[in-house]
């Protein structure tokens, strides 16, 4: 059953909340896509872990939030109780899912070193530069360029890499070109990343290892996802509360209208009797 919408505080609050929910969901959707894009260069090394799972669930929830906001706007215009109730149920489901995302991101925050430790070391020592692993090689180069960093903990970790092991035994340690500072990469004799004919000069290389920097990057991003997801969950719960308030307001007005109609029907015979009596007199 539907009602003609009337100006009311509950209706205004609900409409404001629906519009805010839509605009906020769009902003959070772009933020989720940004989270996903910043991780893309490192994805070949770590695959799909808790971080990517949280981001994808986050994007899915805010997308549902955008669509649900349209349902809420339609509910305001039509004042239909079933639409308002459906809106409240969907928004509360999104809020609960966002709470799960926040908890999962905190769980990942504590396991970051454990997850990236083995993957990063194995990629650098076993797969870098090997035939058939060009994607992993590009991913490591992108990591060392963007952080910037060199090696697992220090640049001499590359001694253990399959690509450089034989060369290191003959001519001294060599490292990928992405380890070099940009201003030294054009050097030819000697090249900044080769230990022949002269030993590598550490001043020409990135001084920090990749593991602590990458760990810090993941910690910051996972904390940001958890904080944003918690904020979105609170916002969705607020939308659910305003929807239920509007639902009760419509119910109250509907009951008042039904009571008024019932009263008018009960009074109609008495009114007709009075009119008949007065006409006879």
Domain region containing 221: 9-125+211-271
pLDDT at 116: 81
* Environment class of 276 (CB within 10 Å of its CB; exposed 0-12, middle 13-18, buried 19+): exposed
Measured between alpha carbons, how far is 99 from 230 in angstroms, rounded to an integer?
Answer: 6
171 and 70 co-located in one domain:
no
96 and 230 co-located in one domain:
yes
Residue 224: inside a domain: yes
Measured between alpha carbons, how far is 175 from 186 in angstroms, rounded to an integer?
Answer: 15
77 and 154 co-located in one domain:
no
Tell which of 167, 185, 207 closes a domain.
207
pLDDT digits (tens, 9 = 90+) for 204-259: 888 889 888 888 888 888 888 888 888 888 888 887 887 787 778 777 777 777 77
Average pLDDT over residues 146-152: 89
pLDDT band at 173 (very low <50, low <70, confident <90, very high): confident
């Amino acid at each position: 059953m539907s009602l003609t919408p009337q100006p009311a505080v509950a209706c205004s609050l609900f409409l404001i909340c629906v519009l805010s929910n839509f605009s906020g969901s769009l902003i959070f959707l772009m933020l989720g896509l940004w989270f996903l894009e910043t991780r893309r260069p490192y994805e070949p090394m770590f695959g799909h872990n808790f971080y990517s799972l949280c981001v994808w669930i986050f994007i899915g929830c805010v997308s549902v939030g955008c669509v649900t906001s349209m349902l809420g706007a339609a509910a305001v215009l039509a004042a239909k109780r079933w639409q308002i109730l459906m809106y409240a149920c969907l928004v509360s489901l999104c809020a609960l899912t966002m709470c799960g995302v926040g908890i999962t991101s905190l769980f990942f925050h504590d396991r970051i070193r454990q997850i990236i430790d083995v993957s990063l070391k194995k990629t650098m020592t076993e797969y870098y530069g090997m035939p058939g692993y060009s994607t992993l090689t590009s991913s490591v180069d992108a990591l060392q360029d963007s952080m910037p960093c060199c090696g697992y903990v220090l640049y001499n970790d590359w001694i253990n890499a399959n690509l450089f092991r034989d060369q290191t035994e003959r001519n001294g340690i060599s490292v990928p070109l992405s380890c070099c500072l940009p201003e030294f990469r054009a050097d030819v004799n000697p090249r900044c990343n080769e230990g022949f004919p002269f030993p590598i000069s550490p001043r020409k290389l990135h001084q920090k290892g990749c593991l602590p920097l990458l760990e810090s990057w993941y910690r910051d991003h996972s904390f940001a996802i958890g904080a944003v997801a918690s904020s979105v969950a609170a916002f969705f719960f607020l939308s659910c509360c305003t929807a239920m308030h509007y639902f009760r307001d419509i119910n109250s007005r509907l009951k008042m209208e039904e009571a008024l109609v019932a009263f008018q029907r009960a009074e109609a015979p008495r009114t007709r009797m009075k009119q008949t009596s007065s006409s006879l007199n």
